[in-house]
Amino acid sequence: MKKILFLHGWTNKRPVGHWARLTAAALRSRGHQVWYPQFPSPDSPNPIEWQDLLRQEANMMDEVEGGEKVAIAHSLGTINWLLGAKTNLFDKPFDRVLLAAIPDPIMTTQAEGIEGEALDFSDSSLLAQSRKWARNISAVASDQDRWQPNGIDFYKNLELETTIVPGAGHFSLDDGWGKWSGLETWVESANPQDLRLR
């Protein structure tokens, strides 16, 4: 049994057909414990509210004995997790964290409705803090993501092993990214190559 937390992104209301919702259901059917909370005001997220809910969900995961503790974050959800790591929000580290489609801060500062300052990926402490709160942390990205207009170099200081999935866009429903069987397999295998499977 694994404990899995899904962190959705901006404007996401956990729609039917989204890969996070489909994967959460599939993992529950396999006997895993899954947390997939709706973060408040997804169209105009408040960082304080999102951080508070993240802290509560992570703490509830820790109340369950045993099982690998895994976080799967998408888009603004990746910023939510990284900010939590930066500020020592958690009580216990995650065993694995997957950051999918990390948005470039250039884009988040330009988006109307996203509150708070953009995460500073050049902050030297961010690498140490992310390693403190995740025993293994990796990323998955696309070669055609509008939220990464200059590619993935903006987060190179995090030294993340990044799996590139060609043509995946921003891994959103608008990009036709629904069922993601490779993610279900990755939860079991921890093999990043599985993330390339649709």
pLDDT in tens, the chain (198 residues): 999 999 999 999 999 999 999 999 999 999 999 999 999 999 999 999 999 999 999 999 999 999 999 999 999 999 999 999 999 999 999 999 999 999 999 999 999 999 999 999 999 999 999 999 999 999 999 999 999 999 999 999 999 999 999 999 999 999 999 999 999 999 999 999 999 999
Sign of CA dihedral 190, 195, 197, 198: positive
Question: At how many degrees (to 10) do helices 125-133 and 76-86 cross?
Answer: 90
Domain assignment of residue 102, given as a range? 2-196
Q: How many CB atoms lie within 10 A of CB 48?
A: 10
- CATH number for the domain harbouring residue 162: 3.40.50.1820
**Taking Cα atoms as reference points, which of 131, 130, 134, 139 lies closest to residue 192?**
139
Q: Can you read off the two tokens belonging to residue 52?
A: 């508070």
**Per-residue confidence (pLDDT) for residue 6, from 0 to 100:** 98
Number of domains in the chain: 1
**Per-residue confidence (pLDDT) for residue 1, from 0 to 100:** 96
**Per-residue confidence (pLDDT) for residue 32, from 0 to 100:** 98
| CA dist., res. 18 & res. 131, Å (int) | 29
Is residue 135 within 8 A of residue 95, CB to CB? The reply is: yes
**Per-residue confidence (pLDDT) for residue 97, from 0 to 100:** 98
